[in-house]
């Protein structure tokens, strides 16, 4: 399969619509989350075939704690089981997994699994999968600013050196390129606090498909549309 000339290097996805998918079937929301988790592998596998080096997926926001205790606990246990079940396949497929977000608020067992699977896959280079858990763009900028302020206070950083190039080194995403394309499923046209700084010049695609129905073909159709876009970054039209 040939890789399109202008494929996005980094795609980020707001995986939305699990709850509605379940409701349509008269089933509990958690069933929708489980169905959604099953869709991730196919999209990860489609990445290298399409020239996508980085895939970042939004799994749980800093605002999602507002949901019922039952749904939050179910999601946390789904994340644990996902890591346990997928770890060996990630290794086999050459996927490097990373997590962004404030992991200190997550339970100790989940944090251990996250650290373990990051280390286990650290040498993989085929595709970089980043999962955002307890992630919020504003929270990330606030945490980054705290670390930056500490460096200034300790004399390690001169305030004059703070620029739009040095600041992102303090973000959770400091090792990732900025996303080229952000996709949101489920028909909502908002970004819900996802990658605020990083998406300054991203292209956006909002699609009606609910996340558990999102397949490789839907992903590839979006990638094909991306190749036709003219990214000007403030420059003049050709």
Binding interface with Mg ion (CB under 5 A): 16
Cα-Cα-Cα-Cα dihedral sign, residues 205, 206, 208, 214: positive
Which residues inside 110-169 make contact with ligand IPE, applying CB under 6 A?
none
Calculate ∠ Cα 19-135-104, nearest 5°.
Answer: 115
Classify residue 169 by its DSSP letter. Answer: G
**Secondary structure of the chain: what % helix, strand, coil (to 5)?**
45, 15, 40
Q: Which residue, 66 or 92, has its beta carbon nearer to Mg ion?
A: 66
Q: How far apart are CA 182 and CA 194, in angstroms?
A: 9
Which residues inside 66-85 make contact with ligand IPE, applying CB under 6 A?
75
Q: Which residue, 50 or 134, has its beta carbon nearer to ligand IPE?
A: 134
Known catalytic membership, residue 134: no
Residues found in the chain: 238
Q: Catalytic pick from 16, 139, 172, 180? A: 16
Binding mask 7-46 for ligand IPE (x = CB under 6 A): -------xxxxxxx--------------------------
Q: How far apart are CA 183 and CA 197, in angstroms?
A: 16
Known catalytic membership, residue 213: no
Which residues inside 198-227 make contact with ligand IPE, applying CB under 6 A?
none
> Measured from the CB of residue 85, what is the shortest distance to ligand IPE in angstroms?
18
Catalytic residue list: 16, 64
């Amino acid at each position: 399969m040939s890789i399109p000339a202008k494929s996005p290097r980094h795609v980020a996805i707001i995986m939305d619509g699990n709850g509605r998918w379940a409701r349509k079937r008269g089933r509990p929301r958690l069933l929708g989350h489980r169905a959604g988790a099953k869709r991730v592998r196919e999209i990860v596998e489609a990445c290298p075939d399409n020239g996508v080096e980085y895939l970042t997926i939004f799994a749980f926001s800093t605002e999602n704690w507002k949901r019922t205790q039952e749904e939050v606990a179910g999601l946390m246990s789904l994340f644990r089981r996902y890591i346990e079940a997928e770890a060996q396949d990630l290794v086999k497929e050459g996927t490097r997994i990373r997590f962004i977000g404030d992991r200190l608020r997550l339970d100790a067992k989940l944090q251990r699994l996250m650290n373990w699977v990051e280390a286990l896959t650290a040498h993989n280079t085929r595709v970089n999968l980043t999962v955002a858990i307890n992630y919020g763009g504003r929270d990330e900028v606030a945490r980054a600013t705290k670390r930056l302020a500490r460096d200034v206070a300790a004399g390690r950083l001169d305030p004059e050196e703070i620029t739009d190039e040095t600041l992102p080194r303090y973000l959770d995403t400091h090792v990732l390129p900025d996303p080229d394309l952000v996709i949101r499923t489920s028909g909502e046209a908002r970004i819900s606090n996802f990658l605020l700084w990083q998406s300054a010049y991203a292209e956006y695609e909002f699609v009606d498909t609910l996340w558990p129905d999102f397949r490789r073909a839907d992903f590839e159709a979006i990638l094909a549309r991306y190749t036709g876009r003219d990214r000007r970054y403030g420059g003049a039209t050709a």
